[in-house]
Structure 1
Amino acid sequence: MLENHFHKLERMYLSANINTEIFDTTTVKITEGKAEIGLTIHEKYFHALGAIHGSVYFKLLDDAAFFAVNSVVTDAFVLTKSFDIHFRRPVNGGVLTAVGTFKESFDTSYVGVAELQNEYGKVVAHGSGEFVKSKVELTPEIGYR
């Protein structure tokens, strides 16, 4: 049952416009309480100094933590309430992998953390966020199929 939920979340992620139009080399693997997002880095993600823009770090870390949380929330789409990022080193090529983990829930919030690694296993950034359930059910109309 949960495995079907994970596959539907993966398909929803991969079919999102931002992933089909901009981040076209994205990969995703979701299991209970965990999500891995991969991205091959291209120059189109660079800022003026020749390394990836901070928005790319944010997207990968937030997506990984988000889907780790949504893996344990099976009835609704979650939303990012807040997310903090800590940058460690610039990236100008290769493959990045963001690993997100569901940490805990309290009241109406869920906490997820994520670490972003380069292809050599070096951490390039990490982050943590608070997520809340939306009123949007997980249905085929939003790509959950």
Structure 2
Amino acid sequence: MTADEHDSPATGADGHYRALERLYASAPVNHKFASTLHIPGEGRSRLTFTVTEADYHAAGAAHGTIYFKMLDDAAFYAANTMATDRFLLTTSFNLHFTKPVRAGTVIAEGRWVSGRRRVFVAEARLVDEEGEEIGRGTGTFMRSHIALSGLPGYTAGP
């Protein structure tokens, strides 16, 4: 890869993936969490999330809302790799808690399952620092009327 190729902005599918990562980072709700999104390719996403005591319920483990957020975000972004023009909306989500997590880094791996036109199905799983699955979920996402190109966080970047 030449210096010019390395410095040029991403285009095509890769440009879409980088724009989705910027969109995630720009969402005000995500400023409340120590998390980053990476999209390695079509139909996949990887969210790295740090769980702290601030995320605990009264019994001293991460609250279910944290599981939902990580799973929904990972599945959503995996699905939105398949829609380059519109923002998707979550219409339903089922999740299963397998193990409590207290603190540390959690990885949410999202994977698109089906759908390319109006409705998309994607799944995600959560893995703790020991590599054990702590939860999983499946979501249904619908194409909205919101153009991705009209969202400030999605705009082209470096």
TM-score, with normalisation over the residues of structure 2? 0.87
Aligned partner of 1:28 among 19, 31, 37: 37
Which position in structure 1 is the counterpart of 2:146?
A: 136
Which position in structure 2 is the counterpart of 1:125?
A: 135
Percent identity of paired positions between Structure 1 and Structure 2: 41
Higher Cα Rg, which structure: 2
Alpha-carbon distance in structure 1 between the residues aligned to 2:91 and 2:46: 21
Which position in structure 2 is the counterpart of 1:77?
A: 87
Alpha-carbon distance in structure 1 between the residues aligned to 2:98 and 2:16: 33
Which position in structure 2 is the counterpart of 1:10?
A: 21
Alpha-carbon distance in structure 1 between the residues aligned to 2:151 and 2:74: 22
Structure 1 pair 105/56, CA: closer, same or farther in 2 (3 Å)? same
Alpha-carbon distance in structure 1 between the residues aligned to 2:45 and 2:151: 22
RMSD (Å), alpha carbons:
1.2
- The alpha-carbon deviation at position 107 of structure 1 amounts to 6.4
Secondary structure of the residue aligned to 1:133 is strand
Alpha-carbon distance in structure 1 between the residues aligned to 2:132 and 2:35: 19
CA contact (8 A) 2:83 2:116 kept: no
Specify every segment of 5 or more residues in structure 2 that has no aligned partner in the other structure, as ranges. 1-11
Alpha-carbon distance in structure 2 between the residues aligned to 1:19 and 1:107: 28
> Given residue 36 of structure 2, which amino acid in structure 1 is its aligned partner?
T
- The alpha-carbon deviation at position 141 of structure 1 amounts to 3.2
Which position in structure 2 is the counterpart of 1:44?
A: 54
- What does 1:94-133 align with in structure 2 at a 5 Å threshold? 94-105=104-115, 108-133=118-143
Alpha-carbon distance in structure 2 between the residues aligned to 1:136 and 1:44: 33
Aligned residues: 143
Alpha-carbon distance in structure 2 between the residues aligned to 1:130 and 1:98: 17
- The alpha-carbon deviation at position 139 of structure 1 amounts to 2.0
- The alpha-carbon deviation at position 95 of structure 1 amounts to 0.5
Alpha-carbon distance in structure 2 between the residues aligned to 1:131 and 1:61: 13
Specify every segment of 5 or more residues in structure 1 that has no aligned partner in the other structure, as ranges. none
Alpha-carbon distance in structure 1 between the residues aligned to 2:90 and 2:45: 15
CA contact (8 A) 2:82 2:116 kept: no
- The alpha-carbon deviation at position 108 of structure 1 amounts to 2.5
TM-score, with normalisation over the residues of structure 1? 0.95
Structure 1 pair 33/107, CA: closer, same or farther in 2 (3 Å)? closer
CA contact (8 A) 2:95 2:138 kept: yes
Secondary structure of the residue aligned to 1:14 is helix
